[in-house]
A and B are shown apart, each in its own frame.
Chain A
């Protein structure tokens, strides 16, 4: 079955540590997105990519980095520069051109310890 897989489901980070969240899709979608969700707030866009080897900053890109070396994969690195990384991270994919709904992964909950 086609879908989008995020791993791990839970992740714990120590102060000053970089961590990488995985996102893989087999839907043949060109576009992929990373959002952050905090309690009581809407999803906020971190980075997005419309095509391989290209990506754009979203509204809250500071302290995060991404790569898009393969169509299927869009990993997100939370760096030590991100001062408040504890949140629920969601990856999504969609057809790039036109109006289409997103397919979301099941999310990664990151906690700083």
Chain B
């Protein structure tokens, strides 16, 4: 079955450093992949989408890579700030019609 793995351990980094989160998947070849941010008790917020024929996508301090050979996406936040502290979810297109399957997310904590 399709499986998405995100590091379940929280990532703790110092303010100003680059945070890198990993999303690995198996048993599927998604046409695109998305990243979301979720704050406690809130719904996820869409951040970025990257297609299978794109290697990299950037938006302000965010960068996403997509390696279909490794079946992996990396999500980077440069010059991180305490306000970036949240859980970040990876989601893969599954079966068409813009239907997504989600990973469990990785919690990021940026310390001053």
Instruction: Give the B-binding residues of A (Cβ under 8 A).
Output: 6, 31, 33, 35, 40-45, 48, 50, 90, 92, 94-107, 109
A94–B44 alpha-carbon span in the complex (Å): 13
Contact yes or no, B46 A102, CB < 8 A: yes
Give how many B residues have a beta carbon under 8 Å from the other chain's beta carbons: 27
Q: List 7 A-B contacts (CB under 8 A).
A: A31-B98, A42-B105, A99-B51, A99-B93, A102-B46, A104-B44, A107-B42
Q: Smallest Cβ distance from A35 to chain B, in angstroms? A: 7
Chain B proximity of A68: nearest CB distance (Å): 14
The contact string, 1 if C-beta is below 8 Å from chain A, for chain B 77-108, is: 00000000000010101000111111111000
Q: Contacts A99-B51, A102-B46 known; A43 to B31 CB distance under 8 Å?
A: no
Name the contact of A102 in the complex, choosing from B4, B100, B103 (C-beta under 8 A). Answer: B100
B112 sits at the interface (CB 8 A): no
A44 / chain B contacts, CB cutoff of 8 Å? 102
- Interface on chain B toward A: helix, strand, loop, or mixed SS? strand
CB distance from A97 to the nearest CB of B (A): 7
Chain A nearest CB, measured from B72 CB (Å): 17
* Interchain CB contact under 8 A, B97 and A96: yes
Question: Quick one: which of B44, B93, B101 contacts A90, CB cutoff 8 A?
Answer: B44
Assembly CA distance A97 to B98 (angstroms)? 7
- A48 to B105, Cβ gap below 8 A? no
Considering the chains assembled together, what is the distance between the CA atoms of A94 and B97 in angstroms?
10
B68 CB → nearest A CB, Å: 15
**B53-76 at interface with A (beta carbon < 8 Å):** none
CB-CB < 8 A to A90: which residues of B? 43-44
Partner of A99, one of B47, B89, B98, B104: B98
Establish whether residues B49 and A99, one from each chain, have CB atoms under 8 Å apart when the complex forms: yes
Shortest beta-carbon contacts, A-B, top 6 = A101-B46, A104-B43, A43-B102, A42-B102, A42-B104, A99-B32
CA distance A109 to B44 in the complex (A): 15
B98:A43 contact, CB within 8 angstroms: no
CB nearest neighbor in B for A31: B98
